[in-house]
Amino acid sequence: MKMVDRFDGPGAAAVLLLAFACLPAQLRAAPIPAPAHTVIVILENHSASQVYGNPEMPFFNEIARQGAMLTQASFAQIPYGRIARGYVAPLPARPSQPNYLFLMSGSNQRVLPEYFAINDAPATYPYRGTVTNAQDGDLLAAPRANVPAGIGNRLVPAAQRPFTTPNLGAAVIAHGGTFACFSETLPYPRFDGETYDAGAGLYKRKHNPVINWINLPGRALAPPEAPYVLPDSVNLAFSATVDPASGQRYRGFMVDEQGRPLGFDALPAVSIVVPNQAHDAHDASLGDADTWLAQNMRGYAQWAMAHNSLLILTFDEDGATKTGGGDAKRTGIDTIATVFYGPMVKPGRYSEPADHLNVLSTVLRLHADLAQFQEQFARAHPGEEAAQERANLRPILDIFGAGAPLTSLPPEPAR
């Protein structure tokens, strides 16, 4: 039998089109045009119902109407993918710091709430308190006082830094791209304090995820760890800064090392933008946050639409928690406003379930190697909870016309 080694002729195109049409929808979808730049802005502590349609937020809602508005987006849970024993609903990932780590890496990096116990803490571990939950999140039979407790929003101890696990910045850089996090009011990249700004505390380290992957303690690294550690040059302020110890100058979001204006094409391939506490809706109003967004992101949004780039607006956690059993302040997860805006996005309202891991996975799908990240994640994070996290490292594809909507992952039962 003669093998055909060439397929052409007048009927070839029709046959190929027919075969393409017979593929499942998720395989037939057009590939996503890789954005030249993606900017992710993280705001604070408000539910979708407080943001969508709010007349105090005209800029945010303009972007939402013209982009992909996720109406059932949420933040993460601790434990992830399981209802802890003693509760009837997932425990929300609180406070802020774990949510920023989920967005950066798909894991809370064992930065647990302050009411969680910490097992086998070293003698130098600095945080003790009264805990009501075991390290895995299950409700204890009775509170325990003066025991090692979760980090919460506090400084990750130097002995636990730098993190040497897969993260967005390392993945983008390994793929040949560039990455930076721009934290408003950060004094300079190697600043290692919890708060800054003449006592006002406008910069909060708890909202800066990348700094924990920078080797500020100067620890010796094993070769397998080094690829995940980030240079201090990715930890930038929104304006230009100078390191007082070395005299080294660093660029800001839209200015160079000398404070001179830059074009948007000079941005890294992927940028995280963290407004300070006066502009992220944490200490001030949603209206104040929207004014800051309009002043600082409108130009990029307009430029992105004409230059194959992407803007993502999201919140770290909700602001109107649903109750679900146990402590009403801790249980139940409300939706958060999350919007994708750019020329590759199909505008509309999308009601699929999505959380921080899906936002992370989408950016990895666009700017890095998501499959490789998933493999690295599995090696770095063993255990049942990490397996649930890895299972949800799934990108949001339908907003680009490139796949089916996400469906909910079945949670593991309570223990």
Residues 119 and 101 both lie in one domain? no
Domain boundary, last residue among 150, 180, 202: 150
204 found inside a domain: yes
Residues 282 and 368 both lie in one domain? yes
Residues 124 and 82 both lie in one domain? no
What average pLDDT does range 321-344 have in this prediction? 72
243 found inside a domain: yes
Residues 347 and 385 both lie in one domain? yes
Indicate if the pLDDT at residue 131 is higher than 70.
yes
Provide the number of structural domains found in the chain. 2
376 found inside a domain: yes
Confidence of residue 30 (pLDDT cuts 50, 70, 90): low
Q: The whole model's pTM is what?
A: 0.91
Q: For residue 200, what is the domain's CATH number? A: 3.40.720
Confidence of residue 360 (pLDDT cuts 50, 70, 90): very high
What average pLDDT does range 130-159 have in this prediction? 97
The domain of 325 spans 27-110+158-400
Residues 191 and 244 both lie in one domain? yes
**Phi/psi at 315 (5° precision):** -120, 155
Residues 198 and 143 both lie in one domain? no
Question: Which residues 6+ apart lie within 8 Å of 339 measured at CB?
Answer: 60, 63, 64, 67, 68, 69, 70, 311, 312, 313, 314
Indicate if the pLDDT at residue 80 is higher than 60.
yes
9 found inside a domain: no
15 found inside a domain: no
Indicate if the pLDDT at residue 324 is higher than 50.
no
Residues 132 and 204 both lie in one domain? no
Residues 105 and 127 both lie in one domain? no
Residues 97 and 134 both lie in one domain? no
| Contact indicator for 51, 287 with CB cutoff of 8 Å | no
3-state secondary structure of 296: helix
Residues 275 and 162 both lie in one domain? yes
Residues 264 and 240 both lie in one domain? yes
Residues 343 and 279 both lie in one domain? yes
| Contact indicator for 100, 208 with CB cutoff of 8 Å | yes
DSSP string for 47-100:
-HHHHTT-TT-HHHHHHHHHSEEESSB---BSSTTBPPTT-SSPPB--SHHHHH
